[in-house]
C-alpha cells in the first residue's frame, strides 16, 4: 500500500516560507491570495496490505520521525 | 587538568575538527575522542559535544534523524546522570529534536543560509559554558546555518526566561537586542538555551570558530576555558 | 532509451559529424551497436575529447620545479613544502546552470570536489567564478538566486568552506551564464592517487550512489549551442546529493589510508564510459564491465543508459588483489553502495556485458588516440584601438563618480552572495571573502597557508583576447602577491563560444598565447584546467572568458596581509600610472562607453613590482595591501577603507594626467600599500627603481579627495551595499 | 476557496531526501518500506469562489513559481 504523510506547521507557528511564497505570488501579479502555508509530504510504499495496519504504521513513523510535534501536525492517508 | 571530551560524529557532521581544535587548545593539546553515531556505549567522559554539520544531509528536518541514532540513548543517559552536553548548531538542533532541550529550530526567517559574523549577548553566567564571560558581555561569533530560527511556545519561553535558561541572545555589537539585530527570526532573539540544571547547552552560533586571533577572533575561547575550569573544580 | 537502429542519421543526432562517423566504422570494422555509438559519441564530444582546443592547450607552460602533476590527471598537483601538496582544478557547469540554476551549480561544485578528492586530497577550499547576464534581464535574477543557493547548498553541506570567487554582469551572458567552480585540496606528497589502471585480473569496483537515468548525453549537451528548443533537453538535469558526497569523501579518504587502491577515478561527464575508458586507456590495459552488477536506482535500465548516465556522487576504483573485503567494509560503514562490476584485462579493449549479451567491444587505443583532433580555421582578433583620453571629459565630481562606481553591479559588495556560503568550516580560514586579495586558508597543524584566487576581466578579453588572457593570469598572480604569498601555479577554465566560427577560435588561441606569455614570465605554470565551448544562444556568444584560478603558498599565515586599513598610516601607490581609461569601468559606468584597448600588461614591471611588494610584506613593513584592478585607484582605496571601517585623506595629485584618469584609470601591475611609516619603503623602492609615491594618510570617518571633496564612510558603505539589497529584496 | 498544491520530484529524478528518510525509518526498525519520496505541499487561501477558476489559478501559480517543472511535477486540489 502507499501511505501519504502530510506534515504542516501548527497554526501558532510562524511560517516564513509560506509567507514568502504568498508575497512572491502577489509580486507575480496573482491576486486574491490569502494565507499561504508550506508543508511537507512524504509518500511511502509499504509492504503492508491491510489499510488499517498501514495507516497505524505510518502514524507511528510520523510520531517517531516524520513530524516534530513541537511545531508540526500531520495527517496520514492510505491509498 | 585534562578534559575528557568526546565529539559525536553523525554521517554529515562537518565541524568536528573545528571543535576538536578549540577543545585541544584549552586542554593542553589533548585531542577529544571521536564517537561514531552507531556506538551504544560511551567511554568515561567529562563532556560530550554534538558538533555542527549537516547530519543526514539535514534532510526531512535538521537533526531529526541524528536524534534517533543509537548513540543518542547513551548521550541522554549521560545527561540524565548529570553529565555535561554541548550542542552547537546542528548539535543544538539534534538536542531539541531529541527532546533534551525545549523548542525547535525552524528555517531562518529570511529563508537563506547565513554564513557571517554576528554579535551575541551573554545572558547568564552560572554554567561552565558561560562562567568565562561577564553577564551582558557582547561576543562575536560565526553563524553558519539555514535553520536557526528558535521557536517555543509562549509558556515555554516565559519559563526559560524565568529560570535563567536563556544563555545567549543575538545582539548588535553595542549590545542592543531588537528585531534589527535578530538575524534569523528566533523568538526573543534567542541564540542559545541551557537546561535547568545548567549542564546541557545548545546554541546556533559557532564559538569554536573564534578561538584564535589568526582566524579573526577569540571571543569563543572563554567558553572552552570555562568548561575546563568548571570540570576541573 | 531503448536501442535504435544505428545509422549515420543517429550518429548525427548524437553529435558526430560525417567524417567522425566514418572513423567510427573504420575503427570498429563493422557497424557499431547502439551502445557503442553512444560511447563513441560522448568520448568524442568536445567536452571529453577537447578536439577543438587540444592543439592550443599544448602551448601553455605546465612545468616548474614545484609541479608534481600537471594537466592530464584529474587535477593539478603542486608541492607546497612540509611533504604536502595542494591539488586543485576549476571546472565549468555553464549549460546545466542555465537550465536549472540550483542543481546545475550544485552538481558543478560536487563534480569539482570529486576531481580533487579522487587524487587523495582532503578538500579545504571552494571558490567560484560566476558571470551573469544584465541585472535588467528578468531571467538573470532567477539564475543568480538559484546558482548562489546551489553553490551554498552543496558546499555548505559537504563542509568545505567557500572562500572566494568573482562575479560579473554583462549582456553577453544573458543566455549563457558561466558557473566555474574551483576546489583546492591537500594531500601528502607520497600519497597521491592516479587514475591509470593496472594489474590484469584486478577488480573494478563501483562506489557511491546508484545509477539512474540522469543526465544522459550531458557531455554532448555541454558541447552544443542552445537554441529555442533547448527546453526539450531538460530531462538531462541531474540532482546533486551533497550528503552522499560528504560520505563519499570520508569513505574514499579512509580507503586511501590503506593500500587497497591501484587506481581511482571519479565518474564525471559521460560517467561510467569516460571513467572506465580513461582508466584502462591510461594504464594501457583492457577493461571488462558487467553491468548486471551496477547498483541501479531504476528498473529496466539498458546498457546504453548505464554507460552514459551522469548520476552524481559515484567513483570507479581498481583494487589490489585481496582488498575487496577491506574496501567493502569501509563503504558499508558509510552506507554507500559498493559493487564489483568488472576486472582489468590484457585485451586493450573495453568490453561491456549486460544480461548475457556483449553490448560493446571497442579497442581503447583508437577510441582515445584516434579521437578527432581539429585545427579549426582561425581568424585572429584585431585588438581595438587605443582610446584617446583627450576624448573623455568628465564633469562629474570625484565623490559622485566614486559613489556611482562602487554601487555598480560589477563593483558593489558581494556580501549578499558570500554570506550564503560558509567560509569558516574547518576552522582554518585566515582571510575570508572581502578581507584580502586572495583567500588565505591555513593548513591544519602547521603555520603554512594557501592563498587562492580566481580572476578574469572578460571585457578586456573581448577587446583584445591576447592581452586579456595575459591580464587574467597577471591579476591572479598579483592577488596572491598582495597577500604576501608566493604564487605557484594556476588552473584555468576556458569559456568561449562556438569553436567552429573562426573568430571564436581566434579569440581562444589568442587568449592562450597571452596566458602562456604571462605564465612563463611569472613562473606560474598551468597544472589543470577545463574548456567550455559552444557558450552561445541563438548564435550569440559570450565574452571570451578564460577564468584563472591561482594558488600560492605562504610559510607563515600570520604574515599574510589583508586589505583593511587602520588609522594613522601612510598610503603608498606602487606601480606606474598612465591614466588608462580604455575598457575601464569608469568609462562604462560613468561615461556610458565600452571602447578602446584594455590596459596593457608589462610583464617585466609586473614581476618586478610584485616581487618588491612581497618582499616588503615578508619584512613586516606592510600593514595592508590591495592590488589596483577594476575601477582603478580610487575604488581600491575605497575598498580598503570599507574593509577597515576607516577613512583616509589623499594629498593633492602630482601628475600630468587628468584627475579622473589618474583616479579611475585601470593601469596594471599596481598595488596600494598601507604602512605605519612608509619612508623606508619609499626609499627602497627608489633604490630598486620601482615607481612608488605617497598618496595620503588613513584615519577619520570620511574619504577626502584631491581638490577637497569628500565622501563619508557611511555613504560609501550604503552605496556599496545597495545593489544586491535592492535587487534581491 | 482553498487550493492545495502538491509538488513532487518527477519519476526518475534522484530524491536524496526520500532515500535518506527511507533509510532512517529502516534503521528505526520499521520494515516493509519500499520507495520513499519527499515533496512539498502548499496550501493557498484564495478569494476566488469558483472551483474551476481557483484550480486554474493555482495551476498557473504552480507553473510559474511553486514547482520547478524542470525536475518537479505537481497536482492541484481545490477544497
Ligand atoms: N584549459 C585547460 N588548461 C589546462 N589543462 C586542461 C585544460 N582543460 C582541460 N585540461 C586538463 O585536461 C584533463 C581533462 O579535463 P576534464 O575533461 O575537465 O577532466 P574531468 O574528466 O575530470 O572532467 C585534466 O587533466 C585537465 O586538467
Ligand atoms: Mg575527473
Burial class (CB in 10 A: 0-12, 13-18, 19+), C192: middle
Residues 6+ apart with CB under 8 A from C583: C384, C387, C459, C460, C463, C594, C595, C596, C597, C598, C599, C666
* Residue A12, φ and ψ in degrees, nearest 5: -75, -5
Cell of residue C662, nine digits: 589618474
Question: What is the distance in A from the centroid of ligand 1 to the CA of C48?
Answer: 9
CA of C268 to the centre of ligand 1 (A): 12
- Determine the residue among C239, C244, C313, C314 to mutate to test chain D binding: the one whose Cβ has the most chain D Cβ atoms within 10 Å: C239
Mean pLDDT of the region D51-60: 96
The atom of ligand 1 lying closest to the CA of C73 is 25
What would the mean pLDDT of C518-523 be, rounded to a whole number? 98
Nearest Cβ partner of B11 from C247, C426, C427?
A: C247
User: pLDDT at position B39, please?
Assistant: 97
Closest CA to C401 of C259, C584, C541: C584
Q: Which residues from B are below 8 Å from A23, CB to CB?
A: none
Question: Does the distance separating the beta carbons of D27 and B60 come in below 8 Å?
Answer: no
Taking CB atoms and an 8 Å limit, are C297 and D14 in contact across chains?
Answer: yes
Q: Give, as residue ranges, everything with CB less than 5 Å from ion ligand 2.
A: C 74, 115, 266, 268
Give me the interface pTM, i.e. the ipTM: 0.94
**Facing residue for C311 by CB, picked from D14, D15, D23:** D14
Sort A3 into a burial class: Cβ within 10 Å, 0-12 / 13-18 / 19+. Answer: buried
Amino acid C368: pLDDT: 82
- Cα separation, B139 vs B191, in Å, equals 12
Q: What are phi and psi of C204, to 5 degrees?
A: -105, 125
pLDDT at C699 over 50: yes
- The active-site residue, picked from B16, B37, B89, B123, is B89
> Which residue among C62, C90, C109, C529 has the greatest number of ligand 1 atoms within 8 angstroms of its CB, and so is best to mutate?
C529
Nearest to D71 among C213, C237, C297 (CB): C237
Torsion of CA C663, C664, C666, C672, to 10 degrees: 40
Q: Judge whether residue C333 has pLDDT over 90.
A: yes
Q: Give yes or no for A13 touching B (CB within 8 A).
A: yes
Residue with cell 591510461: C282
| Atom nearest to C493 CA in ligand 1 | 1
Left, alpha or beta for C534 (phi > 0: left; psi -120 to 50: alpha)? left
Reported as a single tens digit per residue, the pLDDT across C186-202 is 999 999 999 999 999 99
pLDDT tens for B193-225 read 999 999 999 999 999 999 999 999 999 999 999
Contact C557 B18 (CB under 8 A): no
Instruction: Supply the pLDDT for residue C230.
Output: 46
Q: How far apart are CA C133 and CA C137, in angstroms?
A: 7
Q: Give how far D79 is from chain C: nearest CA, Å.
A: 32
Rounded to the nearest integer, the mean pLDDT of chain C is 95
**Distance in angstroms (rounded) separating the CA atoms of residues C670 and C656:** 18
pLDDT tens, position by position, D1-49: 999 999 999 988 999 999 999 999 999 999 999 999 999 999 999 999 9
DSSP track, chain D: -EEEEEEEEPTTS--HHHHHHHHHHHHTT--SEEEEEEEEEEEEEES---HHHHHHHHHHHIIIII--TTTEEEEEEE-
CA distances from B124 to B131, B136, B170, B174, B205 (A): 8, 8, 14, 18, 16
Of C213, C238, C243, nearest to D20 by CB-CB distance is C243
C-alpha C226/C-alpha C304 separation (Å) is: 24
Domain ranges across chain A: 2-78
CA distance B98 to chain D (A): 14
Region C331-354 average pLDDT: 97
CA distance C328 to C522: 47
pLDDT > 70? residue C90 = yes
Q: How confident is the model over C64-87, as pLDDT tens digits?
A: 999 999 999 999 999 999 999 999
Give the closest-approach CA distance of C213 to chain D in angstroms.
Answer: 7
Architecture of domain A2-78: 2-Layer Sandwich (3.30)
- Residue C93 appears among annotated catalytic residues: yes
3-state helix, strand, coil in chain A (%, to 5): 35, 35, 30
CB C669 within 8 A of CB C677: no
Interval A7-61: pLDDT, tens: 999 998 989 899 999 999 999 999 999 999 999 999 999 999 999 999 999 999 9
CA A40 to chain D, closest CA, distance in angstroms equals 5
The Å distance, Cα C729 to ligand 2 centre, comes to 38
In this complex, the residue of B60, B64, B185 whose CB is nearest that of residue A16 is: B185
Nearest CA to ligand 1 atom 6: C529
Q: Is the dihedral angle over the CA atoms C198, C200, C203, C207 positive or is it negative?
A: positive
Relative to beta strand C439-442, strand C429-431 is antiparallel
Q: How close is the nearest chain A Cα to the Cα of D30, in Å?
A: 8
Percentage above 90 pLDDT, chain C:
93
Cα C397 from chain centroid (whole Å)? 38
CA distances from C172 to C230, C459, C462, C582 (A): 18, 10, 11, 19
User: Ligand 1 site: residues with CB under 6 angstroms?
Assistant: C 57, 60, 71-74, 89, 91, 115, 268-269, 492, 494, 526, 528-531
Asked if the model's pLDDT at residue C693 lies above 70, the reply is yes
Question: What's the DSSP call for residue C30?
Answer: S
In chain D, what residues touch A3 (CB-CB under 8 Å)? none
Question: From CA C324, how far away is CA B121, in angstroms rounded?
Answer: 54
Question: Rounded to an integer, what distance in angstroms lies between the CA atom of residue C484 and that of residue B174?
Answer: 34
Q: Per the residue annotation, which of B37, B84, B118, B206 is the catalytic one?
A: B206
Instruction: Specify the range with the lowest mean pLDDT, choosing from A15-19, B156-160, B220-224, C494-498.
Output: A15-19
Is C47 marked active-site?
yes
User: Residues of C at the annotated binding site for Mg(2+)?
Assistant: 91, 115, 266, 530
Residues of B in contact with D20 (CB under 8 A): 56-57, 59-60, 65
Chains with ≥3 Cβ pairs under 8 A against D?
A, B, C
CA of C529 to the centre of ligand 1 (A): 5
Kindly report, residue by residue over B37-71, the tens digit of the pLDDT: 999 999 999 999 999 999 999 999 999 999 999 99
Question: Closest Cα partner for C516 from C55, C61, C89?
Answer: C61
C-alpha cell of residue B200: 546541557
Contact A25/D60, CB-based, under 8 Å?
no
Residue numbers of D between 14 and 43 with CB closer than 8 Å to B: 16-17, 20-21, 24, 27-28, 38
- Which residue has the least CA distance to atom 21 on ligand 1? C268
pLDDT category at C509 given cuts 50, 70, 90 is: very high
Q: Give catalytic status of residue B62 as yes or no.
A: no
Nearest to C546 by CA among C609, C610, C474, C486: C474
CA of C219 from ligand 2 middle (Å) equals 13
Residue with the bigger pLDDT between C369 and B200: it is B200
∠ CA C477-C479-C481 to the nearest 5 degrees? Answer: 70
Q: What pLDDT is attached to residue C2?
A: 61
Pick the catalytic residue: C47, C354, C623, C626? C47
State residue C235's pLDDT score.
54
Cβ separation B68–A64 shorter than 8 A? yes
Determine contact, residues C47/C223, Cβ cutoff 8 Å. yes
Touching check for B53 and chain A: CB below 8 Å? no
Please tell me the distance from the alpha carbon of residue C224 to that of residue C246, in angstroms, as a whole number.
32
Select from B62, B151, B156 the residue whose CB has the most chain A CBs within 10 Å, as the one to mutate to test that interface. Answer: B151
Of the pLDDT bands very low, low, confident and very high (cuts 50, 70, 90), residue C214 is confident
Amino acid at each position: 500500500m502507499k501511505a501519504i504523510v502530510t506534515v504542516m506547521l501548527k497554526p501558532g507557528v510562524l511560517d516564513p516560507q509560506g509567507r514568502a511564497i504568498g508575497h512572491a505570488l502577489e509580486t507575480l501579479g496573482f491576486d486574491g491570495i490569502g494565507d499561504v502555508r508550506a508543508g511537507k509530504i512524504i509518500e511511502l510504499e509499504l509492504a503492508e496490505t491491510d489499510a488499517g495496519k498501514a495507516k497505524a504504521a505510518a502514524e507511528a513513523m510520523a510520531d517517531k520521525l516524520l513530524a516534530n510535534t513541537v511545531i508540526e501536525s500531520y495527517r496520514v492517508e492510505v491509498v | 587538568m585534562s578534559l575528557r571530551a568526546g565529539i559525536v560524529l553523525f554521517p554529515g557532521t562537518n565541524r568536528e575538527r573545528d571543535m576538536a581544535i578549540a577543545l585541544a587548545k584549552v586542554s593542553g593539546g589533548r585531542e577529544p575522542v571521536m564517537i561514531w553515531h552507531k556506538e551504544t556505549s560511551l567511554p568515561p567522559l567529562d563532556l560530550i559535544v554534538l558538533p555542527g554539520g549537516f547530519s543526514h544531509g539535514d534532510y526531512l528536518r535538521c537533526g531529526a534523524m541524528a536524534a534517533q541514532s543509537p548513540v543518542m540513548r547513551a548521550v541522554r543517559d549521560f545527561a540524565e546522570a548529570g553529565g555535561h552536553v554541548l550542542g552547537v548548531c546542528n548539535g543544538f538542533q539534534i538536542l531539541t529534536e531529541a527532546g533534551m532541550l525545549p523548542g525547535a529550530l525552524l528555517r531562518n526567517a529570511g529563508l537563506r543560509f547565513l554564513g557571517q559574523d554576528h554579535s551575541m549577548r551573554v545572558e547568564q553566567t552560572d554554567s561552565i559554558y558561560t562562567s568565562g564571560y561577564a553577564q551582558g558581555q557582547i561576543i562575536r561569533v560565526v553563524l553558519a546555518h539555514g535553520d536557526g530560527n528558535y521557536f517555543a511556545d509562549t509558556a515555554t519561553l516565559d519559563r526559560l526566561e524565568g529560570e535563567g535558561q536563556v544563555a545567549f541572545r543575538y545582539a548588535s555589537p553595542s549590545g542592543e537586542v531588537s528585531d534589527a539585530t535578530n538575524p534569523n527570526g528566533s523568538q526573543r532573539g534567542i541564540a542559545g538555551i541551557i537546561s535547568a540544571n545548567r549542564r546541557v547547552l545548545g546554541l546556533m552560533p559557532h564559538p569554536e570558530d573564534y578561538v584564535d586571533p589568526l582566524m579573526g577572533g577569540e571571543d569563543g575561547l572563554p567558553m572552552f576555558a570555562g568548561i575546563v575550569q568548571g570540570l576541573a573544580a | 532509451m531503448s536501442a535504435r537502429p544505428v545509422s549515420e542519421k543517429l550518429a548525427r543526432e548524437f553529435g558526430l559529424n560525417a567524417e567522425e562517423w566514418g572513423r567510427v566504422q573504420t575503427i570498429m570494422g563493422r557497424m557499431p551497436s547502439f551502445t557503442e555509438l553512444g560511447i563513441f559519441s560522448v568520448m568524442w564530444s568536445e567536452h571529453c575529447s577537447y578536439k577543438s582546443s587540444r592543439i592550443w592547450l599544448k602551448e601553455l607552460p605546465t612545468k616548474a620545479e614545484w609541479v608534481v602533476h600537471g594537466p592530464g590527471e584529474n587535477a593539478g598537483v603542486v608541492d607546497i613544502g612540509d611533504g604536502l601538496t595542494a591539488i586543485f582544478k576549476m571546472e565549468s557547469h555553464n549549460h546545466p546552470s542555465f537550465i536549472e540554476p540550483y542543481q546545475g551549480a550544485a552538481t558543478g561544485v560536487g563534480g569539482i570536489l570529486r576531481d580533487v578528492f579522487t587524487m587523495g586530497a582532503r578538500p579545504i577550499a571552494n571558490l567560484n567564478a560566476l558571470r551573469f547576464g544584465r541585472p535588467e534581464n528578468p531571467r538573470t535574477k532567477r539564475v543568480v538566486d538559484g546558482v548562489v543557493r546551489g553553490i551554498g547548498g552543496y558546499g555548505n553541506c559537504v563542509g568545505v568552506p567557500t572562500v572566494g570567487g568573482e562575479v560579473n554582469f554583462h549582456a553577453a551572458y544573458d543566455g549563457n551564464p558561466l558557473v566555474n567552480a574551483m576546489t583546492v585540496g591537500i594531500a601528502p606528497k607520497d600519497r597521491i592517487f592516479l587514475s591509470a589502471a593496472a594489474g590484469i585480473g584486478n577488480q573494478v569496483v563501483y562506489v557511491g550512489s546508484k545509477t539512474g537515468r540522469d543526465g544522459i548525453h550531458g557531455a554532448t549537451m555541454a558541447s552544443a549551442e542552445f537554441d529555442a528548443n533547448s527546453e526539450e533537453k531538460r530531462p538531462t538535469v541531474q540532482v546533486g546529493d551533497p550528503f552522499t558526497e560528504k560520505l563519499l569523501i570520508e569513505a574514499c579518504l579512509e580507503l586511501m589510508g590503506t593500500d587497497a587502491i591501484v587506481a581511482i577515478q571519479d565518474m564525471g561527464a559521460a560517467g561510467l564510459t569516460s571513467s572506465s575508458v580513461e582508466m584502462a586507456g591510461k594504464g594501457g590495459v583492457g577493461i571488462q564491465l558487467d553491468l548486471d552488477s551496477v547498483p541501479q536506482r531504476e528498473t529496466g535500465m539498458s546498457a546504453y543508459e548505464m554507460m552514459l548516465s551522469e548520476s552524481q556522487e559515484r567513483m570507479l576504483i581498481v583494487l589490489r588483489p585481496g582488498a575487496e573485503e577491506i574496501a567493502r567494509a569501509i563503504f558499508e560503514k558509510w552506507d554507500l553502495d559498493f559493487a564489483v562490476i568488472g576486472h582489468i584485462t590484457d585485451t586493450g579493449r573495453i568490453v561491456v556485458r549486460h544480461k548475457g549479451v556483449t553490448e560493446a567491444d571497442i579497442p581503447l587505443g583508437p577510441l582515445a588516440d584516434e579521437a578527432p583532433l581539429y585545427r579549426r580555421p582561425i581568424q585572429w582578433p584585431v585588438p581595438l584601438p587605443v582610446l584617446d583620453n583627450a576624448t573623455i571629459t568628465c564633469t562629474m565630481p570625484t565623490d559622485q563618480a566614486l559613489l556611482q562606481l562602487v554601487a555598480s553591479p560589477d563593483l558593489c559588495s558581494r556580501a549578499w552572495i558570500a554570506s550564503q556560503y560558509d567560509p569558516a568550516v574547518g576552522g582554518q580560514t585566515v582571510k575570508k571573502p572581502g578581507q584580502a586579495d586572495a583567500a588565505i586558508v591555513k593548513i591544519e597543524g602547521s603555520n603554512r597557508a594557501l592563498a587562492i584566487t580566481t580572476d578574469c576581466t572578460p571585457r578586456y578579453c573581448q577587446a583584445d583576447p591576447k592581452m586579456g588572457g595575459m591580464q587574467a593570469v597577471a591579476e591572479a598572480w598579483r592577488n596572491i602577491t598582495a597577500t604576501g604569498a608566493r604564487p605557484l601555479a594556476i588552473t584555468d577554465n576556458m569559456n568561449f563560444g562556438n569553436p567552429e566560427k573562426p573568430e571564436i577560435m581566434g579569440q581562444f588561441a589568442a587568449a592562450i598565447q597571452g596566458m602562456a606569455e604571462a605564465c612563463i614570465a611569472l613562473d606560474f605554470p598551468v597544472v589543470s584546467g577545463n574548456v567550455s565551448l559552444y557558450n552561445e544562444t541563438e548564435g550569440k556568444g559570450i565574452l571570451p572568458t578564460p577564468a584563472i584560478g591561482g594558488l600560492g603558498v605562504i610559510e607563515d599565515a600570520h604574515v599574510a596581509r589583508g586589505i583593511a586599513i587602520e588609522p594613522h598610516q601612510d598610503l603608498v601607490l606602487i606601480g606606474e600610472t598612465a591614466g588608462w581609461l580604455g575598457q575601464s569601468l569608469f568609462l562604462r559606468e560613468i561615461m556610458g562607453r565600452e571602447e578602446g584597448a584594455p590596459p596593457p600588461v608589462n610583464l617585466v614591471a609586473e614581476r618586478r613590482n610584485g616581487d618588491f611588494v612581497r618582499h616588503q610584506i615578508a619584512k613586516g613593513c606592510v600593514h595592508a595591501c590591495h592590488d589596483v584592478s577594476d575601477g582603478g585607484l580610487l575604488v581600491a582605496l575605497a575598498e580598503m577603507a570599507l574593509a577597515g571601517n576607516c577613512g583616509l585623506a589623499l594629498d593633492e595629485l602630482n601628475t600630468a594626467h587628468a584627475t579622473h584618469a589618474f583616479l579611475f584609470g585601470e593601469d596594471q601591475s599596481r598595488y596600494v600599500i598601507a604602512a605605519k611609516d612608509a619612508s623606508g619603503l619609499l626609499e627602497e623602492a627608489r633604490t630598486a627603481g620601482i615607481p612608488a609615491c605617497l598618496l595620503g594618510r588613513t584615519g577619520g570617518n570620511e574619504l577626502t579627495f584631491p581638490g577637497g571633496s569628500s565622501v563619508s564612510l557611511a555613504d560609501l558603505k550604503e552605496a556599496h551595499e545597495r545593489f544586491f539589497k535592492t535587487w534581491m529584496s
